Amino acid sequence: MADILYPLHVALQVSDLDKAEQFYTEILGLTKGERNLTFPGTWYQIGDFQLHLIVSEWAKNPAREDKWGRHPHITFAIHDLNAVKQALSARAVPFQMSSSGRAALFVKDPDGNVVELLEISAD
């Protein structure tokens, strides 16, 4: 068995690449990375990690509104949860606070993919 060293990327299916890029670039502030493949999609570089958005006709996830944190999701570390909440509210982007008591919230991209934003200490 191989020893897992660290994650390299997460791939999410999206139905509308323009809407997905707007969400991940303008709302979450991610930076596009290099991508040398021929099928439709966008890569985002986050340190040594990548988020891959892949266009798919099966992208729309059924809604489960009670606990977004129970959906498959990706988690990004952040330093200021209150600033993120204010920015999302200013753009009228719905989010759910974590019910676990952690300093975290969940937001959905245009295809219903859940993104968790988890506050970590700045140390």
Q: How far apart are CA 115 and CA 38, in angstroms?
A: 26
SS3 (DSSP) at 109: coil
Which residue, among 25, 45, 27, has the nearest Cα to 35 in the 3D structure? 45
Asked if 33 and 43 count as a contact pair (C-beta separation under 8 A), the reply is yes
Asked if 36 and 80 count as a contact pair (C-beta separation under 8 A), the reply is no
Question: Which domains does the chain possess?
Answer: 9-57+67-119 (3.10.180.10)
Q: How far apart are CA 107 and CA 105, in angstroms?
A: 7
Query: Would you give per-residue pLDDT tens digits along the chain (123 residues)?
Result: 546 667 788 989 899 999 999 999 999 999 999 888 888 899 999 999 999 998 987 777 665 567 777 677 888 998 899 999 999 999 999 999 998 888 999 999 999 888 999 898 876
pTM over 0.75: no
